[in-house]
Amino acid sequence: MSKKDFRLLLIDDDEADAFLTRMALEEARFLLEVEVCQNGQEALERLQQGETPDLILLDLNMPRMSGFEFLQQMKQQDCFKPLPVVVLTTSSSSEDINRAYALGAVGFLTKPVDMNDFIQALRGLENYWLELVRLPQLAV
């Protein structure tokens, strides 16, 4: 898979955070297609319509359907179980970290406050997901 074929779904209700994340992805040279959903319900509906990304970045605290609720409902559907979800949130609570992994997240990143640190974190994410890992092909 080439970088330009890589599809990322960002689920975050905070427009400013979503904008900063997109900007940091661009600064990190994360060359991909990014779609944004503002809550878990919207994201779940998008997935059920056949729009499956290669990776999901998921905030936890959102209206309508939290990140935890989204993760639980998504992973209950066999066709979406292999889809990797990385939690990207302001939380660093061990309870949140443990719960996210228990529900099927493959990673948990606490959003750094400093933009340069955020860009570095996303560069590491890019290296891992676009260079090192082999992703499953989903049959939806």
Instruction: Report all structural domains of the chain as residue ranges with CATH numbers, in order of start.
Output: 3-131 (3.40.50.2300)
55: helix, coil or strand?
strand
pLDDT category of residue 106 using cuts at 50, 70 and 90: very high
CA distances from 83 to 24, 34, 73, 79, 114 (A): 23, 16, 13, 8, 29
pLDDT at residue 5 is higher than 50? yes
Q: Please state the rounded mean pLDDT for residues 109-114.
A: 89
CB 60 within 8 A of CB 99: no
pLDDT category of residue 56 using cuts at 50, 70 and 90: very high
- How many C-beta atoms lie closer than 10 Å to residue 122's C-beta? 22
Q: Please state the rounded mean pLDDT for residues 20-30.
A: 76
Q: Please state the rounded mean pLDDT for residues 25-38.
A: 78
Region label for 50, one of left (φ > 0), alpha (ψ between -120 and 50) or beta (otherwise): left
Q: What's residue 1's pLDDT?
A: 46
pLDDT tens-place string over residues 64-102 = 899 999 999 999 999 899 999 999 999 999 999 999 999
- Please state, for a pLDDT cut of 70, what percent of the chain lies above it: 91
pLDDT at residue 20 is higher than 80? yes
